[in-house]
Structure 1
Amino acid sequence: MSASPRGALVRRTIDLNYENKKRASALKWIVINGVVFLLFAYDLCRVCPGQTTLVHHVELALAVVALANLVQHALSALPRRRTRLALSPRQQRLLGLRDTDLDRSLEVSRVEETTAAPPTPDPWPAEALALSMCAQRRDTSPGSASPSRLSPGSPLSHSSHSPHSSHSPHSPHTPHYSPQNTHYSPKSIHYSPQSMHYSPRSPHYSPHSPHSTPSSERFPRDEFIADRRALADFLRQEEARGVAMDAAWGGAQLSASLTAPLAAPVYQLATVDTDRGTEESRGSRSPPACRRLQLDPQRLTDYDLNLRLWLHATIFERVVRELARLDSMLASAGAEARAGGVPLERLQAAAAALGPTGATCFANLLPFLEPFADQRYAVQRIRELSRGGCLSGYKWDGGSGEWEDSKPTDAELVLQLFASYLDTQLPGGGGGLGGTGGTGGAAVRRPFSIAHVTSAPQPAPRGPRALAIHRVTRRPPHYVLALGDETIEVCRGRDNLLRSLLVFVAAAARSDPPAIQRVHLGRAGLNLLWVIGR
């Protein structure tokens, strides 16, 4: 803590506040202990001699303890003797002391302070650090340049607009600069903390020197750059200043690497992006129907990832697992037929020869394999898409390396498997993968595909309860959402099918309860609400 009078006042104020709080607490305990002592003393005074019991001895002990506490708190509440300090009203206001808080150690003087200690020179004046927020640029002329922007051979000429010009009544002594005394050399600079003597030959800088450079000249105010002309002038002045300093200090090699000439930037208007882009680039844009269906456009990427995870874990992995199970049973029985290697009729006959287990396994796979004419390609591509997770090999307008136009694209394959899975889950469906319906003997019953999946040239369904994914074109595959009496265009390109499935789920989730043909979309049913973050 400082030993100055002001430091002593601050220290005394802290001690005084602590003592006032301690005294208030002591007074409270004095009252409590006094009441307790009086109660016990009154009871003990009414006891007859020779009739004391154990209770009276306990009361006597408690009375003694209460009396001791009372004396202790009374002694702590007594004021201490301290050296008297003078306190002015202004200091009292600054320290936040009221008249009731003061004690005898502080003597308040009712006369305001008229004398103050001389202010310590501030080497960094506030006016030098102030930023000018004026939108008008200051008028500058070759004769009004500040010393920090002068070249070694240019004399100083004060402008009439300078706050420290010779015409100003508050101007300090104006130094005289000449080309001879503005030559700076690293060998001629002397700096010492005691004298603050800055000597580049003849000029002297000292906080107490009358020849010190005015603050407004050493630190010019910031100028508001409002247009290209002001920016060009500022860059030109900074470039000239850098060249002058390099020449003065003889650092030509250093300046070549640190201060390169600055060129005025060329401004031009930004062009409006009118390029519609390719199918791939337009595929990732947010559809306008997201907000209508309560989908956050900022989270579409997360929803796409959730949908890919759901498709991979719920459909593709389980289908591939059933395919491997059927092939394993056929291999154990010595049959040559394999899933994807023979037509469905021959595969069904081979599975039926395995007994009820083989027939059930084939019935689980039939809704997913029946829609495809090329069984070999369909089974191979399903297995490829199941690898890696999140459908990493998905190609919306193509397929594997041997894909051709006669084979289904990945978009068609994913939609068909999605519809087939929901067919097996809805009431009256074809069964399979834990579905509710039976397998039947012939064609698979498809309640979801019939009601919610359509394709051109048939028109999109219309009506108050219409909700379907409608395929507009086959090559490249493009889908829209038929909702009520309108058709919602989601997006184009690689994300067209996935975004169409997302908005389909969001539209189905608007019902109360959220369900598709009485099958809940939450965890108790299809678990599709998790895909859209609900």
Structure 2
Amino acid sequence: RLCWINQSSPESVSPSHSPTFWNYNRSVGDYAQSLRKFLYQPACRSQAPSAHKDETDLGSKQAAEEVWARITTSRAVMNHIDSWTAKLRNWINDTILVPLVKEIDSVNSQLRRMGCPELQIGEASISSLKQAAVMKASSIPTMNSIVQYLDITPNQEYLVDRIKELAHSGCMSSFRWNGGGDLKNRKWDTDLPTDCAILMHMFCTYLDSRLPPHPKYPDGKTFTSQHFSHTPDKPDVTKENLFCIHQSSTNPPHYQLIYQGHIYSLPKGRNNLFHTILMFLYIIKIKESGMLGRVNLGLSGVNILWIFED
């Protein structure tokens, strides 16, 4: 596995930090400071026009309770869902977005020093970046990993700008579930990915990098190929062993969980993405002993299941 080290960062020499770019083994204590800094508050309702009006909070809560009741008899879920959501947002921000932005800046600096100013991430096309990642694999080994995160839209300028904005806004406070940000006075429109789509892609790509290679998925998308699908594709619910998050709608975005032949559709709206990911992880914790295939999502592995701790 590649080690991503930002030579210019004091973190890379600090004994309290993992030497790898993705800080794999973080504990709940590592997040305590930022969690205190960004105390969870329910996200403001987006002002962007939506094709569907949000259900009332009470109706949403009751609907969510009914869906969760099919997974667990524990009443604790609804008491903790806000806290879990805050921790998940924090985990995505601290584990994926912030390190990714640092590495993008580092690689751009290296490319400029190598006399390739035309290859700046956030300016060059995704095809140019893919080609450069192959050509410069020996001098910039992390570039190929970065490119995987960016392969979601042709508009690289918008994507990189938006990733940076989400990473720098603290617990992703600028997140807009059914929209995005403005770029150079241009308002977000549906030709650009929603923040939900960006975060789902980041989450999948990160787990692609953590799952061992599989001969069936030579492109390296081991997690994405097995555990994510999106419209117009339809998951084959008759497959008993299918366990995936399915994006059933693009605009506005809506996600469902497919598990053991059943579809679990949590209430639509601003937290649907996070709550669907939480249900996916919760099932892994309580029904799969914390294992996703051969990979432990607990303390000795990806270390994401701490979000369910009190």
Per the normalisation by structure 1, the TM-score is 0.43
Distance 1:512 1:502, change over 3 A: closer
Post-superposition Cα deviations, 1:222-265, rounded to whole Å, max 9, x if no partner, equal: xxxxxxxxxxxxxxxxxxxxxxxxxxxxxxxxxxxxxxxxxxxx
**Kept in 1: contact 2:208–2:221 (CA 8 A):** yes
- Equivalence for 1:149: none
Q: Go from structure 1 to structure 2 and tell me whether the alpha carbon gap of 1:429 and 1:392 turns closer, same or farther (over 3 Å shift).
A: farther
Does residue 127 of structure 2 align to residue 345 of structure 1? yes
1:498 to 1:344, Cα distance in 2 relative to 1, 3 A: same
Asked which structure has the greater CA Rg, the reply is 1
AA at the equivalent of 2:203: F
Q: One-letter code of the match for 2:145? A: N
Instruction: Look up the match of 2:29.
Output: none
**SS at 1:356 equivalent:** coil
Give the alignment of 1:357-376 within 5 angstroms.
Answer: 357-358=139-140, 360-376=141-157
Seen in structure 2, the aligned counterparts of structure 1 residues 480 and 352 have a Cα distance that, compared at 3 Å, is closer
1:392 to 156, 159, 173: 173
Contact 1:281 1:493 in 2 (8 A): no
Cα deviations across residues 109-144 of structure 1 (Å, max 9, x unaligned)? xxxxxxxxxxxxxxxxxxxxxxxxxxxxxxxxxxxx
1:513, 1:382 → 2: CA distance? 33
Q: Counterpart of 1:444?
A: 219
Structure 1: distance between partners of 2:56 and 2:170: 24
Quote the residue 1:313 is aligned against: 94
**1:502 paired residue among 263, 278, 289:** 278
Name the CA distance, whole Å, in 1 between partners of 2:172 and 2:232: 30
Q: Which secondary structure state, in structure 2, belongs to the residue aligned with residue 421 of structure 1?
A: helix
Q: AA paired with 2:68? A: C
- Which amino acid in 2 is paired with 1:456? T
Unaligned stretches of 5+ residues in structure 2: 1-51
Query: What percent identity do the matched residue pairs reach?
Result: 26
Equivalent residues of 1:461, 1:482 under 8 A apart: no
Q: Look up the match of 2:15.
A: none
Match for residue 521 of structure 1?
297
Matching residue within 258, 274, 279 for 2:54: 279
**C-alpha distance in 1 between matches for 2:214 and 2:164:** 25
Residue in structure 2 matched with residue 477 of structure 1 by the alignment: 253
- Structure 2 CA distance for aligned equivalents of residues 456 and 346 of structure 1: 28
Would you say the 8 A contact 1:385–1:391 is kept in 2?
Answer: yes
Contact preservation (8 Å) 2:258, 2:264: yes
Give the C-alpha shift of residue 344 in structure 1. Answer: 2.6
**Superposition deviation, residue 453 in structure 1:** 0.7
Verify the 8 A CA contact 2:133 2:144 in the aligned structure 1: no
Q: Taking structure 1 as reference, are residues 355 and 296 closer, same or farther at Cα in structure 2, changes over 3 Å only?
A: closer
Residue 278 of structure 1, CA deviation: 3.5
Which of the residues 246, 266, 291 maps onto 1:490? Answer: 266
The residue type equivalent to 1:418 in the other structure is F
8 A contact 1:502–1:532 mirrored in 2: no
Q: Tell me the amino acid that sits aligned with residue 504 of structure 1.
A: F
Summarize the Cα distance change of 1:351–1:427 in structure 2 as closer, same or farther, 3 Å threshold: closer
- How far the C-alpha of 1:532 sits from its partner, in A, is 2.0
CA distance in 1, matches of 2:307, 2:255: 20
What is the rounded CA distance, in whole Å, between the counterparts of 2:203 and 2:225 in structure 1? 13
Instruction: Give how far 1:408 is off.
Output: 0.4
**How far is the alpha carbon of 1:349 from its aligned partner?**
4.8
**Paired residue type of 2:261:** D
Q: Give the C-alpha shift of residue 290 in structure 1.
A: 2.8
Residues of 1 paired with 2:269 and 2:106: CA distance? 36
* Alpha-carbon offset, residue 522 of structure 1: 0.5
Measured in 1, the distance between the counterparts of 2:129 and 2:230 equals: 30
Q: Secondary structure at the match of 2:286?
A: coil
Q: 1:486 to 1:319 in 2, by over 3 A?
A: same
How many residues were matched structurally?
246
CA distances 1:298-356 after superposition (whole Å, capped 9, x unpaired): 11110000001100011101111110111111122232121010113333455666662
CA deviations 1:409-438 (Å, max 9, x no partner) are 0011100110011011101079xxxxxxxx
Counterpart CA distance in 1 for 2:96 and 2:220 is 18
Determine the structure 2 residue equivalent to 1:461: 236
Report whether the alignment pairs 1:356 with 2:138.
Answer: yes
Q: How far apart are residue 457 of structure 1 and its match? A: 2.8
**Whole-Å Cα distance in 2 between the matches of residues 382 and 415 of structure 1?**
12
Alignment of 1:73-152 (within 5 A): none
Deviations 1:474-508 (A, max 9, x none): 11111111111211111111011010010010112
Structure 1 gap ranges (5+):
1-276, 431-439
Query: Hey, what's the Cα distance between the residues in 1 that align with 2:99 and 2:219?
Result: 19
Q: Is the 8 A contact 1:395 1:409 kept in 2?
A: yes
2:191 and 2:288 map into 1 onto residues whose CA distance is 42
Contact 2:242–2:261 (CA under 8 A) maintained in structure 1: yes
Which residue of structure 2 aligns with residue 33 of structure 1? none
Q: Could you tell me which of 202, 225, 232 is aligned with 1:417?
A: 202
Spell out, residue by residue over 1:67-107, the C-alpha distance to the aligned partner (whole angstroms, 9 max, x if none): xxxxxxxxxxxxxxxxxxxxxxxxxxxxxxxxxxxxxxxxx
The answer to whether the 8 Å contact 1:284/1:495 transfers is no
Alpha-carbon RMSD across the aligned residues, in angstroms, is 2.5
Q: Report which stretch shifted further, 363-372 or 394-403.
A: 363-372
**Equivalent residue of 1:383, what SS?**
helix
Q: State the 1:456 CA deviation.
A: 2.4
Describe the SS at the equivalent of 2:204.
Answer: helix
The residue matched to 1:285 in structure 2 has which SS? Answer: helix
Q: Distance in 2 between matches of 1:500 and 1:335?
A: 41
